[in-house]
Amino acid sequence: MLGLYINKKSLGKQGVNKLSDEEVISLYLKSRSSSYFTMLYSRYSGKVYSKCISLLKDEQLSDDATQDIFLKIYLNLAKFSGKSKFSTWVYSITYNYCIDYIRRKKKERNIFSEDIENVGEPLEDVNDSELLEIEVSRLKKVLNIIPVGDRAVLLMKYQDDMSIRDIAGVLEKSESAIKMKIKRAKHKAKSSYKDLYKD
């Protein structure tokens, strides 16, 4: 486990918290000072943990996953190219980790393929605003009852602003397959919402 403790003295008071992620990474790679990495950790650990919780549904597991994910980030930070935003990179690692875990442990190998291959009947388009404006506590319940694959793509798209290309990269699928997957996930979320709150 990484010893990630905030060393406020070494961070200084010169508004380092206002630095962008990319600037912090650059400073870290130059100085190798752990305080810069600690800064990234404090910015993203909560978000990474909450994503792990929403996908893995287990606090202890999510705690361990967060530590493992930050260990991966720590070991690969020098490889971060800056082509995408740092947050996107962090979330990609997080989703990859959680999806791998679910595939490995729950043996749900096809959590992202069943709908992609199943073209079936055409679905009605669900407006983004219909999902985005669902009240927060209800949205949480809806996300909890839809399948993990659908939950993951909706979170990637609407919570983390990941592009279709980035999502396709994380899930190793084509962009058109991801578009279809998102469409189906939106449809499932809408019907689950209707089932839960018929009033």
- Interaction of residue 46 with another protein, rule CB under 8 A: yes
Min separation Cβ 154 and another protein, Å: 7
Q: How many alpha carbons lie under 13 Å from residue 127 in its C-beta half-sphere?
A: 4
Using a 10 angstrom Cβ sphere, with 0-12 exposed, 13-18 middle and 19 or more buried, the burial of residue 158 is middle
- Phi first, then psi, for residue 27 (nearest 5°) are -65, -40
Element housing 129 (H / E): helix 128-132
Under 8 Å between Cβ of 94 and 69: yes
Under 8 Å between Cβ of 177 and 110: no
Return the number of the residue (11 or 53) whose C-beta is nearest another protein: 53
CA angle 3, 156, 104 (to 5 degrees): 65
- Interaction of residue 57 with another protein, rule CB under 8 A: no
Q: Which two tokens stand for residue 79?
A: 């490889």
Restricting to residues 139-158, name those near another protein by CB under 8 A. Answer: 139-140, 143, 154-155, 158
d(CA 19, CA 64): 28
- Interaction of residue 47 with another protein, rule CB under 8 A: yes
Q: How many residues sit in the footprint of another protein (CB under 8 A)?
A: 21
Residue position matching structure tokens 């996930």: 185
Min separation Cβ 199 and another protein, Å: 19
Return the number of the residue (122 or 181) whose C-beta is nearest another protein: 181
Restricting to residues 59-118, name those near another protein by CB under 8 A. Answer: none
Q: Which two tokens stand for residue 178?
A: 């991801």
- Interaction of residue 49 with another protein, rule CB under 8 A: yes
Return the number of the residue (59 or 100) whose C-beta is nearest another protein: 59
- Interaction of residue 199 with another protein, rule CB under 8 A: no
Min separation Cβ 40 and another protein, Å: 15
Return the number of the residue (84 or 159) whose C-beta is nearest another protein: 159
Min separation Cβ 148 and another protein, Å: 16
- Interaction of residue 132 with another protein, rule CB under 8 A: yes
- Phi first, then psi, for residue 58 (nearest 5°) are -155, 120
Site residues, another protein (CB under 8 A)? 45-47, 49-50, 53-54, 129, 131-136, 139-140, 143, 154-155, 158-159
